Amino acid sequence: MTYRPLADEIRPETLDEVVGQKHILGEGGLLRRIIEGGNIPNLIFYGPSGTGKTTVANIIAKRTNRTLRRLNATTASLSDVKDVIGEVGTLLAPEGVLLYLDEIQYFNKKQQQSLLEVIERGDVTLIASTTENPYFYVYNAVLSRSSVFEFKPLSANDLIPAVERGFRLMGERLGAKAKCEKGVVEHIATACGGDCRKAMNAVELLMNSAARKGKTLAITLEDAQTVAQKSAMRYDREGDDHYDIASALMKSLRGSDPDAALHYLARLLEAGDMITAIRRILCSASEDVGMAYPQAALIVKACVDNALQLGLPEAQLPLAQAVVLLATAPKSNSIVAAIGAARADVKAGKTGEYPRHLQNVHADSAGLERDQGYLYPHNFPHHWVKQQYLPDILLGSQYYVYGENKTEQAARQYWEKIKGEEG
């Protein structure tokens, strides 16, 4: 008998059996209405593995009586696509073909352009799937001719019924009923990272390795924890997850949520990506804390240096210290706004000539005996003297605005007092 993975055996055959995705497949969901209507456009399914993309393609093929042909872009070529098209109108595909192209992001631009021939035929329907954001990885001409639907990671509540059904099916296959310790089903549903396939693989492994007592297979929580360890981690250093977690860390620091920041730091460290965490932490010290607590940059740099010298796992401690410091520090984006405004003027060509008194002294060499007129601030009270620094074209421009925090307001009051007295 040919071996069939549990994940394939349990695959839903109707829309009502599909786990999760209620936002598009629930009653009234747009994709459900399209499928039930029977006029299937070219589609792009976007989302993590194990969330039902292939399953829905199978259901569409059955409902439309079209022959389903599957290709994976990591190994397929254009000749494979042409072979599929060649089946149209033959006994192999009398009602047309539904071409399911998995991982379309691995097709280069030329290969994706060649798919336009497929997309524009009435007897071939293309359903492409990708785990990456299609708006970054799929050619615009393909996108404009397709409808994009996002498949979201499955929640633990979504997966519990599927896990329970998996244990029942495996019990029927092995001729013994699963006897699960308390928490086994919930742990698998939680630890699989929203991937139904991973959950089914865990169930299958647990059942095949369980101790048998007559017609009972004992499934322990300890075994479930061992099988499912780290399976909740979805991380690709070159994919969307990399940028999403880095973004979530940065935004949690900016939002002053130390718990969330520690969570995303932990996910990066668990994936072994300490460098991404360090880059975000160093940036946040200036971008989000800035002048509200200037010493944060020094402390964070020291923490980063310690982390790099220690290496993982010990590096987690100084990095966690830096994250908590930044998340709980007062915030100011005055530096971001100031340098952004200054660069905008430079890019717009607003530069002008340097004021004569700011030029380097070399301008007075070669017999050019001109009085530079520079006033040395340290020769004046409070180390400040009024003089022009900006080019004439930018005279009066203000880029830096003091933030509404104790540190910057103290600096504002100090300089307003001095410049008011001396000006």
64 closest CA partner among 82, 47, 83, 43: 43
pLDDT of residue 362: 56
Q: Which residues make Cβ contacts (< 8 Å) with residue 308, sequence separation at least 6?
A: 278, 315
At 337, give phi and psi (nearest 5°): -65, -40
pLDDT of residue 361: 63
Residues in the chain, pLDDT under 70: 1-3, 89, 91-94, 229-242, 361-372, 421-423
- Decide if 159 contacts 132 (C-beta within 8 A): no
pLDDT of residue 323: 94
- Give, for 199, the enclosing helix (H) or strand (E): helix 196-209
pLDDT of residue 317: 95
- Give, for 149, the enclosing helix (H) or strand (E): strand 147-150
Dihedral, CA of residue 237, residue 239, residue 241 and residue 242, to nearest 10: 40
How distant, in Å, are the alpha carbons of 10, 51, 211, 223, 329 from that of 204? 11, 18, 14, 12, 48
Give the end-to-end CA distance of the chain in Å, rounded to a whole number: 94
Region of 214 (left: φ > 0; alpha: ψ -120 to 50; beta: rest) is: left
As to burial, measured by CB atoms within 10 angstroms (0-12 exposed, 13-18 middle, 19+ buried), residue 410 is exposed
- Decide if 396 contacts 354 (C-beta within 8 A): no
Cα–Cα dist 262/316, whole Å: 10
The count of residues in the chain is 423
* Structural tokens at position 109: 């631009």
297-338 pLDDT per residue, tens: 999 999 999 999 888 889 999 999 999 999 999 999 999 999
pLDDT of residue 151: 92
What residues are paired with 88 via a beta bridge? 93
The distance from CA 249 to its chain's CA centroid, rounded to whole angstroms, is 11
A 10 A CB-CB count for 322 gives 28
pLDDT of residue 238: 52
pLDDT of residue 25: 92
pLDDT of residue 293: 94
418 closest CA partner among 377, 384, 380, 375: 384
123 closest CA partner among 96, 145, 100: 96
Q: Which domains does the chain have, with CATH numbers?
A: 21-150 (3.40.50.300), 156-228 (1.10.8), 240-328 (1.20.272.10), 334-422 (1.10.3710.10)
DSSP per-residue letters across 103-120: TGGGS-HHHHHHTHHHHT
Whether this model's pTM surpasses 0.75: no
A 10 A CB-CB count for 237 gives 11
* Structural tokens at position 144: 């404009």
DSSP per-residue letters across 263-283: HHHHHHHHTT-HHHHHHHHHH
What letter represents residue 281's amino acid? I
- Decide if 59 contacts 15 (C-beta within 8 A): yes
pLDDT of residue 371: 59
In the 8-state DSSP scheme, what is residue 365?
-
216-273 pLDDT per residue, tens: 889 988 888 888 765 555 555 555 566 788 889 999 999 999 999 999 999 888 877 8
